[in-house]
């Protein structure tokens, strides 16, 4: 017997079925209805994907709480309602499951609303799309990608006409328009406007601009490289060749785009083990440097040889310090500006002060970073970064760009070689001059049916009952960023900062996309000679691990 009558809101499910053009997701819904999978259907239909990092992102599947053709078409309807007729939108896509289909659906809906579309002819990295918005002078850009999420996910990232990510209040406006729009028909009406399939000239223009952003002239450099089954290989290989910045040696099993990401379940280079094949290749080929992009090419991870046959993965803050220091060396003037986030290492502010460069902090995310970077026309942004491997190194792309950042890191290496030192020795120089900075991030994940409420309970508990001391020392100050503070130019945010003495800083915030609380910790130790650095590193890691564990225990206690 069919169990459809037992399903609540069955009319909503039936209406969705009538508007779903994808036989795969229609079959999934019908199978759930036939089996009477009430809880699963409720989960798919009683909620909807919300705008997060500059757009939508989530698991593939049927219903408004998943990424599918109906969800994507509704997004396009919302964009159409926000834009004026005869506006122009540029659309790109990566190589994930259904990315090209989603891009085509977006084009059809926009065309039906008298909006002209420029569509890339093949998959591209996200930075190319961000570049194209300003290069083509379009009113909006849409990139179909889920960045570094698992293979089961997809998404859409939106860029405004300034080439920067979608941000408030426009994101709320578009989300309201999406929610108020009717479900789109299975067959989109014939368009009055057309979709122009771009040639390779926009991509080539991007490659030329990025290649010209560095000095180059280091063809002997050997770099192990992985795009992690993503779409950055063609672009980064072209850029390195054009700029004469070295030879890329790719991980063969990861160089071709593959939506299943067969060698890694979570293609985020921040995750443990994801760079193992890259490091194996670096050792095997005696490379000078190892670098990886995430699947859509907007992040950069890197590792360096330590001189004893081993390799060390650099933290996002270490890469940020190296890239910023190089930009400080390459540029002049008292209008220069660097922007980082509040959870980044304090090292960047010290490098900025030593070089007479203005430094600004923002909340986490490039949707905050880029508007701050270009807020004041009298200031010249030379570098922006966030500790999660995101770097903006050129004005050409007003978003994080893992390809441009890789090129600049190669220049850092070449410059170090010219001065008779290694990147590791360059980092040691930072420690001697500014103090040895150790940063680490701890992720506290919550599971189960109440996971959505856990974050609020954990943060509320920390806010109302912050610890006065840890086993390693007493808390000297507590700052709640949900409370108005005239000294801070930052918007109110669900963030708590704890300071332990003058050396340790801890920031705690909930994730915006997962049932998880993130703990960002930094310890700064004064060292006067190189021989002290290793000991300071070990002690700092141990101290921060103790603090992280004790905070995790507190957070879980607040949730009980």
Average pLDDT score over residue span 80-89: 94
The half-sphere exposure of 529 on its side-chain side, counting CA atoms within 13 A, is: 1
**Whether residue 208 is found in the same domain as residue 299:** yes
> Over the stretch 182-199, which tens digit does the pLDDT of each residue have?
899 999 987 777 889 999
3-state secondary structure of 280: helix
Residue 205 lies in a domain: yes
Tokens of 100: 């090209």
Q: Specify if 298 maps to a domain.
A: yes
* Catalytic choice (80, 147, 226, 345): 147
Bigger pLDDT: 487 or 347?
347
Confirm whether 552 is domain-assigned. Answer: yes
State yes or no: pLDDT of 1 exceeds 50.
Answer: no
Task: Report how many domains make up the chain.
Answer: 3
End-to-end CA distance of the chain: 42
Q: CB of 80 within 8 A of CB of 109?
A: yes
CA–CA distance, 104 with 122 (Å, rounded to integer): 12
One domain, residues 384 and 511: no
Which of these three, 432, 451, 467, is where a domain ends?
432
pLDDT tens digits, residue range 504-556?
A: 999 999 987 678 899 999 999 999 999 999 999 999 999 999 999 999 999 99
pLDDT tens-digit series, residues 11-42: 889 999 999 999 999 999 999 999 988 889 99
Calculate the average pLDDT of the chain.
Answer: 93
Are 389 and 440 members of one domain? no
- Going by the DSSP 8-state scheme, the letter that residue 22 receives in this structure is -
Q: Is 60 helix (H, G, I), strand (E, B) or coil?
A: strand
Shared domain check, 352 and 466 = no
235 given a catalytic annotation: no
Give me the CATH number covering residue 507: 3.30.310.50
Flag whether pLDDT at 45 surpasses 60: yes
Residue 467 domain boundaries: 435-559
Indicate which CATH number applies to the domain containing 212.
Answer: 3.40.120.10
> What single-letter DSSP state applies at residue 288?
S
> pLDDT tens for residues 466-486?
999 999 999 999 999 998 775
Query: Does residue 451 surpass a pLDDT of 80?
Result: no
Q: How far is CA 382 from the centre of its chain?
A: 20
27 domain-assigned: no
| Structure token digits, residue 222 | 């050997």
Tell me, yes or no, whether 188 and 206 share the same domain. no
| Lowest-pLDDT choice from 34-38, 79-83, 334-338, 482-486 | 482-486
Spatial CA neighbour of 226 closest among 150, 303, 143:
303
Length of the chain: 560
Residue 457 and residue 397 share a domain: no
Query: For position 181, what pLDDT does the model report?
Result: 85
Structure-token match 């060396």, residue found: 329
Distance of CA 55 to the CA centre of its chain: 12
Between 177-181, 395-399, 463-467, the lowest mean confidence (pLDDT) is in 177-181
Of the candidates 182, 199, 216, which is a domain's last residue? 199
Residue 9 in any domain: the answer is: no
Inter-CA distances, 12 with 51, 183, 189, Å:
22, 11, 23
Q: What is the pLDDT of residues 341-357, one digit of tens each?
A: 999 999 999 999 999 99
428 with 470, same domain: the answer is: no
Residues 445 and 517 in one domain: yes
User: Looking at the structure, do residues 406 and 443 belong to the same domain, yes or no?
Assistant: no
pLDDT, one tens digit per residue, over 102-130 is 999 999 999 999 999 999 999 999 999 99
How many whole angstroms separate alpha carbon 193 and alpha carbon 142? 18
With pLDDT > 70 as the criterion, what percentage of the chain qualifies? Answer: 97
Helix H or strand E segment including 135: helix 126-135
Same domain membership, residue 379 and residue 445: no
- And the tokens for 193? 């406007």
pLDDT of residue 486: 56
Quote the tokens at residue 411. Answer: 């220049």
pLDDT at 246 over 70: yes
Phi, psi torsion values for 222, nearest 5 degrees:
-110, 120
- Give me 137's structure tokens: 């002078």
Q: Among 432, 460, 476, where does a domain finish?
A: 432
| Whether residue 536 sits in one domain with residue 550 | yes
**437 vs 505: CA distance, rounded Å:** 11
Residue 463, in any domain of the structure: yes
Q: Does any domain span residue 208?
A: yes
Alpha carbon distances (Å) from 446 to 51, 165, 450: 22, 29, 8
Judged against a pLDDT cut of 80, whether residue 51 lies above it is answered with no
Does 3 reside within a domain?
A: no
The one-character DSSP state at 511 is -
Note whether 306 and 358 are same-domain residues.
yes
Quick: pLDDT tens for 292-333: 999 999 999 999 999 888 999 999 999 999 999 999 999 999
């Amino acid at each position: 017997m069919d169990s459809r009558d037992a399903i609540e809101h069955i009319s909503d499910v039936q209406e969705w079925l009538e508007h779903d053009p994808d036989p795969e997701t229609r079959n999934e819904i019908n199978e759930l209805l036939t089996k009477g999978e009430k809880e699963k259907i409720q989960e798919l239909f009683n909620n909807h994907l919300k705008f997060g990092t500059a757009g939508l992102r989530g698991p593939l599947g049927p219903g408004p709480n998943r990424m599918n053709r109906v969800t994507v078409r509704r997004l396009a309807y919302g964009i159409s309602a926000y834009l004026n007729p005869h506006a122009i939108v540029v659309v790109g896509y990566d190589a994930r499951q259904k990315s090209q289909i989603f891009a085509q659906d977006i084009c059809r809906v926009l065309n039906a609303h008298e909006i002209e579309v420029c569509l890339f002819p093949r998959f591209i990295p996200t930075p190319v799309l961000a570049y194209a918005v300003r290069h083509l002078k379009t009113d909006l850009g849409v990139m179909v990608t889920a960045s570094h999420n698992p293979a089961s996910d997809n998404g859409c990232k939106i860029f405004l006409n300034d080439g920067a990510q979608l941000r408030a209040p426009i994101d709320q406006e578009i989300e309201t328009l999406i929610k108020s729009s009717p479900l789109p028909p299975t067959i989109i009406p014939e368009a009055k406007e057309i979709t122009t399939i771009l040639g390779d000239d926009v991509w080539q223009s991007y490659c030329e601009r990025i290649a010209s952003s560095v000095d180059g002239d280091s063809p002997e450099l050997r770099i192990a490289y992985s795009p992690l089954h993503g779409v950055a290989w063609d672009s980064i290989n072209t850029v390195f060749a054009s700029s004469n910045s070295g030879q890329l040696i790719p991980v063969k099993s990861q160089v071709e785009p593959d939506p299943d990401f067969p060698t890694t379940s979570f293609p985020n280079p921040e995750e443990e083990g994801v760079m193992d094949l890259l490091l194996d290749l670096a050792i095997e080929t005696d490379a000078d440097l190892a670098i990886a992009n995430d699947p859509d090419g907007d992040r950069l991870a890197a590792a360096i040889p330590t001189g004893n046959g081993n390799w060390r993965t650099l933290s996002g803050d270490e890469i940020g310090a190296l890239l910023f220091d190089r930009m400080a060396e390459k540029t002049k003037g008292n209008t220069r500006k660097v922007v980082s986030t509040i959870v980044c290492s304090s090292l960047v502010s010290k490098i900025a002060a030593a070089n007479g460069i203005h430094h600004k902090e923002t909340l986490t995310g490039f949707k905050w970073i880029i508007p701050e970077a270009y807020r004041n026309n009298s200031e010249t942004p030379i570098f922006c970064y966030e500790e999660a491997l995101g770097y903006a190194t050129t004005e050409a792309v007003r978003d994080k760009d893992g390809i441009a950042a890789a090129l600049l890191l190669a220049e850092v290496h070449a410059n170090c070689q010219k001065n008779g030192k290694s990147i590791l020795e360059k980092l040691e120089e930072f420690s001697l001059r500014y103090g040895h900075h150790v940063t680490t991030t701890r992720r506290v994940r919550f599971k189960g049916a109440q996971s959505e409420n856990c974050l609020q309970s954990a943060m509320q508990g920390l806010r109302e009952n912050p610890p006065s001391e840890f086993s390693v020392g007493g808390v000297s100050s507590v700052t709640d960023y949900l409370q108005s503070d005239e000294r801070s130019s930052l918007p109110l945010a669900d963030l708590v900062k704890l300071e332990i003495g003058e050396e340790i800083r801890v920031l705690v915030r909930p994730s915006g996309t997962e049932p998880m609380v993130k703990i960002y910790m930094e310890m700064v130790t004064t060292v006067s000679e190189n021989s002290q650095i290793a000991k300071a590193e070990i002690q700092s890691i141990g101290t921060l691990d103790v603090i992280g564990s004790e905070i995790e225990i507190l957070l879980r206690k607040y949730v009980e």
